[in-house]
Every structure is written in C-alpha cells, then in structure tokens.
C-alpha cells in the first residue's frame, strides 16, 4: 500500500507574523537611513558654514594687514579721501586702500585696491565691495559680494600712535608725524593695529587683533 505524503504549508498566523516582522525591520531601516541622510546634510552644512566663516575672517585680516597709505581722489571734484576711514566718520564700517591685489590674469592694472565694508543688520549680512580702479569716477560701479551671513553685529577699534584704542579713524585731533612734507599727509594716517569683532548668530563672538605694517 502506497504511503501518501502530506505537504504542510505556512499557517495564516505564521504569515502574519512574518509580514509584521518585515514591516518592523523596514521601518527601522528607513529611520536609520533617514538619520544617516540627516547627519550627512548637517555635516555638509556645518563644513560649508565653517569654510564661509574662515574665508570671511581671513579676508578681513588680509585687508587690514595690507593697509597702504594711499589716499584716493574724490569721485566728484579734485579733493582726496583718506587712505583709511572707519567708524563713525563714514556710513560704511570701513573704507581702505590695500595692497597685494593679486593679478593672476595679467591685466594691465596696479596691485592697490579700494575696499569698502558695509553691514546690513536687517539681513544680517556683511558685504565687501571694491572698485576695479583705485581713483574711480562715479560711472564705475563697485563689485559687491556677501562676505559673511547670519551676522548679528560687526565693529572695529583702531589703536593710535599712543597705543590708545579709538572707535573712529582718523581719531579726533589726530597728530600727523613730523615731518609732514605733503598736504596729503593727514590722509595717509593709519592705525598701528585694528581690532575686529564679528558676532555671529550661530557661533557667537569672534575677535581678531591685526597689526598694521609700517
């Protein structure tokens, strides 16, 4: 007599348990993958912010380290503007002549550059602008770019020849070193050091002290 083999399959309960386990594992895998993507995006944003802050502070320091005693002509008229003006004497944070302007393209121009720093408190952005020629007429529009974002406050202090800190430059009753052989000598006056304070909304306060050569 032949023996009949009985085939046994999965019961409904076993199938439901397997489906439930697969669902739980899928949810856990999805949450893990989402966490990994979130962490990666956070790392990318953090590194981008770090690069922005490092580049912005490096630009500020490089500009002040290369201050040049070169006044510029007024855009209108035959007068001159000081080589460096900062603080309450101007609506901008600082206006300066700097040297060392790189000329990698080999253009027919000098190495001096006129730079202006402005701050928009509503947008929280520190701007840096420069003109393509040193003694620029009104027809020449400056090149302006965002240097730092998410900024709460920016301020400068300037150390004079008596090693006293000033909130504006040139300071009131500033004395020009003797001998002053030129009528432009007062406009060539530079501080011996500049204190840069940038308060970021996300990183807090950054302070840098820059020694001005010469």
pLDDT tens track for 17-32? 878 888 888 888 888 8
pTM for the structure as a whole:
0.78
> Residue 56's pLDDT band (boundaries 50, 70, 90)?
very high
Q: Please tell me the distance from the alpha carbon of residue 117 to that of residue 166, in angstroms, as a whole number.
A: 18
Q: Is residue 133 part of a domain?
A: yes
What CATH number has the domain bearing residue 165?
Answer: 3.10.610.10
Which pLDDT belongs to residue 17? 80
Structural domain tally of the chain? 1
- Mean pLDDT (the chain) is 85
Q: Is residue 109 part of a domain?
A: yes
Q: Is residue 41 part of a domain?
A: no
Of all residues in the chain, the percent with pLDDT exceeding 70 is 90
Q: Is residue 40 part of a domain?
A: no
The 3-state DSSP class for residue 102 equals: coil
Q: Please tell me the distance from the alpha carbon of residue 189 to that of residue 40, in angstroms, as a whole number.
A: 50
pLDDT tens track for 158-204? 999 889 999 999 887 766 665 556 777 888 899 999 999 999 999 99
pLDDT tens track for 63-119? 999 999 999 988 877 788 889 999 866 678 999 999 988 877 777 778 899 999 999
Q: Is residue 48 part of a domain?
A: no
What residue numbers bound the domain in which 158 lies? 55-211
Contact by Cβ (8 Å): 142, 130: yes
């Amino acid at each position: 007599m032949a023996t009949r083999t009985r085939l046994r399959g999965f019961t409904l309960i076993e199938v439901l348990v397997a489906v439930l386990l697969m669902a739980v594992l899928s949810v856990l895998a999805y949450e893990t993958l989402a966490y990994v993507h979130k962490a990666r995006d956070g790392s990318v944003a953090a590194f981008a912010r770090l690069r922005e802050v490092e580049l912005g502070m490096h630009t500020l320091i490089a500009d002040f380290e290369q201050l040049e005693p070169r006044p510029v002509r007024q855009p209108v008229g035959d007068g001159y503007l000081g080589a460096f003006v900062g603080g309450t004497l101007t609506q901008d944070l600082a206006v300066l002549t700097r040297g060392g302007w790189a000329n990698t393209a080999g253009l027919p121009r000098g190495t001096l550059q006129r730079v202006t720093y402005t701050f928009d408190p509503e947008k929280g952005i520190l701007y840096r602008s420069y003109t393509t020629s040193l003694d620029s007429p009104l027809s020449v529009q400056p090149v302006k770019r965002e240097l730092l974002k998410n900024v709460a406050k920016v301020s400068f202090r300037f150390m004079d020849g008596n090693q006293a800190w000033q909130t504006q430059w040139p300071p009131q009753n500033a004395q020009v070193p003797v001998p002053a052989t030129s009528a432009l000598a007062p406009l060539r006056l530079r501080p011996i050091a500049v204190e840069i304070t940038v308060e970021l909304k996300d990183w807090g306060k950054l302070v840098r002290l820059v020694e001005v050569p010469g």
